[in-house]
Chains A and B, each alone.
Chain A
Amino acid sequence: MASIEVRELKKSYGTVVAVDGLSFLVDRGECFGLLGPNGAGKSTTINCVVGALQPDSGQVTIEGETDPTRPSVRMKIGVAPQSIALYEDLTAQENLEFFGKLYGLSGDLLKTRIEMALEFSGLAERRKGRVSTFSGGMQRRLNLVCGILHDPPVILLDEPTAGVDPQSRNLLFDNIEELKRLGRTVVYTTHYMEEAQRLCDRVAIIDQGKILALDTVEGLLRAHKGADLEAVFLHLTGKKLRD
């Protein structure tokens, strides 16, 4: 059964068409990649899916519900935004407490989840440290766990490794693979083909708001006779992923 269903999604900013009739399904427990260059429409798609943006047309269904702005649906969604959406002057623990409370967590359950999140992200030792003193990689990991503290079945990660050093990137990959093992549905946007190749069960290559190809990594490589996804993208668009 599909965890996420997107049908004919359209969103424009004035005369600029950001998402142009996008449709795709994401199965439960699947890690689905949205691969495309900057400005391809990945973040707009994510924001429409989670209800942060009102699409011009089209429909989004998450876990069988069609209105992602409803609190009951939002409880099922976890988001790690592209920007590091944390309060720099609060500690790691205070950030987690704050976002946990917004999701209705309290008391022992909140404490347990915070402990798990700190262990999961490898930040237990720095729980009392202010976010402003963290490295980029630590901030990214905290950004991820703040979005999944309430243990949602659907997780959307918008370029979660942007600006992160290789070591922190590997830690994040480990985190995401752990989420896959736990059976969570993950939508992952990136313009790094190696990330998509390593993590995603299926990948949609998008550009200018449209899906150019959608298949498993192996299927894409086979269909487009590419050595890697970069070559596939070049074959499909005539340009490089990071142009």
Chain B
Amino acid sequence: MNAIVTIALKDLRLLARDRAGFFWVLGFPFLMALFFGAISSGGSENRAAMPIAVVDLDRSPYSRAFLSELRKSEALQVREAPMDSARLLVRRGQLVAYVALWPGVGKSMGFGGDSAGIELGLDPSRRAEAGYLRGLVTAATFSTLRGQFTPTGGGREMVRLSLAALESDTTRTRDEKLRATSVLTNLERLMVALDSSEASAGTATDKGASRATSTETAAGPNMRVVDIAEEENGPRNAYEITFPSSVMWAMIGVCMSFAISIVHERIRGTFLRLRLAPISRSQILAGKGLAAFLAALGATTFLLLFAAVVFKVRISNPPALAVALVAAAFCFTGIMMLISVFGRTHSAVAGAGWAVLLIMSMTGGGMIPLIAMPAWMQTVSNFSLVKWGVLAVEGAIWRGFTPQEMALPVGILLAAGVVGFAIGARALSRSES
């Protein structure tokens, strides 16, 4: 074991001192992730409208007006949906939130007593969007309320219905009925007065409405917020797509650096010296493999930690991510061993190795994200180990893979690693003897 660790540490030290090799292992993948992430993200000023769903369970003129008010907001991208669909879409991260208008919200105009007429369903972790969205919904509530007191609004209908209900109510005393009727009648007169005032001086009405809004804001609409924990199976930003790809570029960089280092050792004669030491051939290969494995694991861990801290890339399932990285590092260690016997010279191994790995990367999501690939290309990508690596990492980051779903990419990576290492080690041993 000491010999294996000694060889691995020596190789890692050599990698750290090889600036070109180090660049391909860490610098290039890092730049790829930053570049493609930046051009895919765009600036914050171009931020897209928040997609939300409105669930209209009231089906009243008020709820239609409310929906219409929300649609006017440029900050929102509104669609109607049934409750089940809306909740599911929020859970899947395809919508920021849903706004449900419960039956009866039209009668209370969003301010009804104890029971909330408006329900806001969103992921509790999205606090910034939540505050913004509550503000937009509140504004829409007041705008709708104001609309209800216009000649075409439903406010007068509500007063008429309330007067009729009061007339037939047998639970109240005569005095109570008289007082309530007086209030409602005065309210109706006020609406008529507001109509004439608005017709003669629109500006003054706007000011009055503004004051009314300000007053109402102190109490605010009766809104209930429901936590909908997002399943986190969609990328939140471009970096959640580019960093898994960069992980694969780091694996490829490690793979090529160590494959070429084996050729270099064979040409230089240090490999012969290793073979003449009192250690077995399998210890030498294990040492080389351990170095590549640790380099791959270290580089990719650094990339993902950086992505998580700086670009807020989610690591929703750390244990699954650890498994994915170990499997991918193991796979590319095996492929490294195989590539190292593609030729006896640097140029032969570098040429053949990059040719194979670039094709794997192009078809496997290293350049074009898997989710952006056409169907036929996704089929072709099944033959690329890069695809399974990206899938395993994305599965642990944002695809929300279950252990069963993780098993396929992880299994393929491990199997490819075993096959690659076995063939490569055997070919290397045969060519040396």
Query: Which residues of A line the B interface, CB within 8 A?
Result: 47, 50-54, 71-72, 74-75, 77, 79, 81-87, 89-90, 94, 98-99, 101-104, 146-147
Query: What residue in chain B is nearest A54 (Cβ atoms)?
Result: B433
- Chain A CB within 8 A of B279 CB: yes
Interface centre among B268, B273, B432 (most CB of A within 10 A): B273
Query: What residue in chain B is nearest A132 (Cβ atoms)?
Result: B17
Q: Nearest-CB distance from B12 to chain A (Å)? A: 12
Whether A81 and B278, one on each chain, are in contact in the complex, defined by CB atoms closer than 8 angstroms, is no
Instruction: List residues of chain A with CB within 8 A of the CB of B14.
Output: 87, 89-90
Whether B13 and A85, one on each chain, are in contact in the complex, defined by CB atoms closer than 8 angstroms, is no
Instruction: List residues of chain A with CB within 8 A of the CB of B3.
Output: 101-102
Instruction: List residues of chain B with CB within 8 A of the CB of A71.
Output: 278-280
Whether A89 and B18, one on each chain, are in contact in the complex, defined by CB atoms closer than 8 angstroms, is yes
Q: Nearest-CB distance from B339 to chain A (Å)? A: 21
A sample of 24 cross-chain residue pairs with beta-carbon separation below 8 angstroms, ordered by A number, consists of: A52-B275, A71-B278, A74-B277, A77-B276, A79-B276, A81-B269, A81-B273, A82-B269, A83-B269, A83-B272, A84-B268, A85-B270, A85-B272, A86-B268, A86-B270, A89-B14, A89-B18, A90-B13, A90-B17, A98-B6, A98-B10, A102-B3, A102-B6, A103-B278
Apart from A86-B268, A87-B14, what 18 extra A-B contacts exist at CB < 8 Å? A50-B276, A52-B276, A74-B277, A79-B273, A79-B276, A81-B269, A84-B268, A87-B10, A87-B270, A89-B17, A98-B10, A99-B277, A102-B6, A102-B7, A102-B274, A102-B277, A102-B278, A103-B277
Q: Nearest-CB distance from A91 to chain B (Å)? A: 10
Task: Give complex CA distance A195, B278 in Å.
Answer: 30
Instruction: List residues of chain A with CB within 8 A of the CB of B269.
Output: 81-85
Task: Give complex CA distance A103, B18 in Å.
Answer: 26
- Chain A CB within 8 A of B46 CB: no
Task: Give complex CA distance A50, B277 in Å.
Answer: 10
Once A90-B10, A98-B6 are accepted as A-B contacts, the answer to whether A81 and B277 lie under 8 Å apart by CB is no
Task: Give complex CA distance A85, B10 in Å.
Answer: 14
- The number of inter-chain residue pairs (CB within 8 angstroms) is 66
Task: Give complex CA distance A72, B279 in Å.
Answer: 10
Instruction: List residues of chain B with CB within 8 A of the CB of A50.
Output: 276
Task: Give complex CA distance A184, B339 in Å.
Answer: 41
Whether B433 and A101, one on each chain, are in contact in the complex, defined by CB atoms closer than 8 angstroms, is no
Q: Nearest-CB distance from A68 to chain B (Å)? A: 9
Task: Give complex CA distance A53, B6 in Å.
Answer: 25
Task: Give complex CA distance A146, B277 in Å.
Answer: 11
Whether B273 and A72, one on each chain, are in contact in the complex, defined by CB atoms closer than 8 angstroms, is no
Query: What residue in chain A is nearest B273 (Cβ atoms)?
Result: A85
Q: Nearest-CB distance from A225 to chain B (Å)? A: 39
Instruction: List residues of chain B with CB within 8 A of the CB of A53.
Output: 433
Task: Give complex CA distance A84, B2 in Å.
Answer: 25
Q: Nearest-CB distance from A11 to chain B (Å)? A: 11
Q: Nearest-CB distance from B325 to chain A (Å)? A: 27
> Quick one: CB contact mask for B232-276 with A, threshold 8 Å, 1 for yes?
000000000000000000000000000000000000111011111
Task: Give complex CA distance A25, B3 in Å.
Answer: 33
Instruction: List residues of chain A with CB within 8 A of the CB of B275.
Output: 52
> Quick one: CB contact mask for B1-32 with A, threshold 8 Å, 1 for yes?
01100110010011001100000000000000
Interface centre among A75, A84, A85, A147 (most CB of B within 10 A): A85
Interface centre among A84, A98, A103, A104 (most CB of B within 10 A): A98
Once A79-B273, A82-B269, A87-B270 are accepted as A-B contacts, the answer to whether A104 and B278 lie under 8 Å apart by CB is yes
Task: Give complex CA distance A1, B220 in Å.
Answer: 106
Task: Give complex CA distance A89, B272 in Å.
Answer: 18
Instruction: List residues of chain B with CB within 8 A of the CB of A75.
Output: 278
Query: What residue in chain B is nearest A74 (Cβ atoms)?
Result: B278
In-complex Cβ contact of A72 among B272, B278, B432 (8 A): B278
Task: Give complex CA distance A162, B365 in Å.
Answer: 50
Once A83-B268, A85-B268, A89-B17 are accepted as A-B contacts, the answer to whether A99 and B278 lie under 8 Å apart by CB is no
Task: Give complex CA distance A104, B270 in Å.
Answer: 18
Instruction: List residues of chain B with CB within 8 A of the CB of A147.
Output: 273
> Quick one: CB contact mask for B406-433 with A, threshold 8 Å, 1 for yes?
0000000000000000000000000011
